[in-house]
């Protein structure tokens, strides 16, 4: 069931989302060669806790799966999403996707971005640029009384026009009192299909785009999703609000 949020609930979700955005920008500033992903995780956790909020991912599990052990997802190079922070040292030429979730006052916010570590190749820069632009093209389609998969189609069309591929197994989602709510928002699909969007929906839109083929595998840690061909992947995400006009991006500061 897709939940329509009240104005009060939207204000609480917005507060969590602003904190997510602030955390992402803080971590982004710390990304550089020589830094470990666990150091980035500590920066994020300390900041979130200082704001009387909690990391949404830490301890999160699906079904009877292994609880996620960290505050952020830190996914390097061929890691698509759900990378676990460790003593891994970032090196020049890496890219790293940072995904942050926050819960405050009973409501969640969720967003992600991909960051270059020093100088990267022009081809990988294009992957990042296309992924980020596809996110905004998808957001622009989040219009009241239009169909949800217009978002999906806009993302898929732009990504594939640029020679990259969309991950099929992972999707965007609703956000609210739970981190993952209905509806599921795939990053591929046909226009004018899916449920109608209504004012008051809060949605996390998150294209995950591979440099090579679309196939992915799950690593031995039970969490990290990697490209099957070992080529890079990029990930950008915003939580947005469907309104009776233009969609509002909530994860900005």
What are the pLDDT digits (tens) for 81-118? Answer: 999 999 999 999 999 999 999 999 999 999 999 999 99
Question: How far apart, in whole angstroms, are the C-alpha atoms of residue 185 and residue 111?
Answer: 15
pLDDT of residue 65: 83
Q: What is the pTM of this model?
A: 0.97
List the domains of the chain with CATH numbers: 7-249 (3.90.230.10)
- Cβ pair 78, 227 in contact under 8 A: yes
pLDDT of residue 62: 80
What are the pLDDT digits (tens) for 184-193? Answer: 999 999 999 9
- Average pLDDT of the chain is 97
pLDDT along the chain (253 residues), means of 10: 97 98 98 98 98 98 89 98 97 98 98 98 98 98 98 98 98 98 98 98 98 97 97 98 97 96
């Amino acid at each position: 069931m897709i939940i329509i949020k009240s104005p009060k609930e939207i204000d609480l979700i917005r507060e969590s989302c602003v904190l997510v955005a602030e955390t992402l920008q803080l971590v982004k500033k710390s990304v550089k060669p020589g830094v470990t992903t666990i150091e980035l995780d500590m920066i994020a956790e300390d900041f979130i806790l200082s704001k009387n909020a909690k990391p949404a991912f830490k301890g999160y599990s699906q079904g009877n799966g292994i609880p996620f052990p960290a505050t952020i997802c830190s996914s390097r190079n061929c890691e698509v999403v759900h990378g676990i922070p460790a003593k891994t040292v970032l090196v020049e030429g890496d890219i790293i996707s940072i995904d942050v979730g926050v819960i405050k006052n009973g409501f969640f916010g969720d967003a992600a971005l991909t960051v270059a570590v020093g100088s990267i190749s022009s081809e990988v820069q294009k992957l990042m640029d296309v992924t980020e632009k596809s996110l905004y093209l998808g957001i622009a389609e989040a219009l009241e009384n239009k169909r949800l998969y217009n978002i999906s189609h806009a993302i898929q069309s732009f990504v594939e026009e640029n020679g990259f591929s969309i991950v099929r197994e992972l999707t965007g989602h609703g956000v609210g009192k739970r981190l993952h709510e209905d509806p599921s928002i795939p990053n591929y699909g046909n226009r004018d299909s899916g449920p109608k969007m209504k004012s008051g929906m809060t949605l996390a839109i998150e294209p995950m785009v591979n440099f090579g083929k679309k196939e992915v595998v799950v690593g031995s840690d039970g969490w990290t999703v990697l490209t099957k061909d070992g080529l890079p992947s990029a990930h950008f995400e915003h939580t947005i609000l469907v309104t009776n006009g233009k969609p509002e991006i909530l994860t900005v500061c």
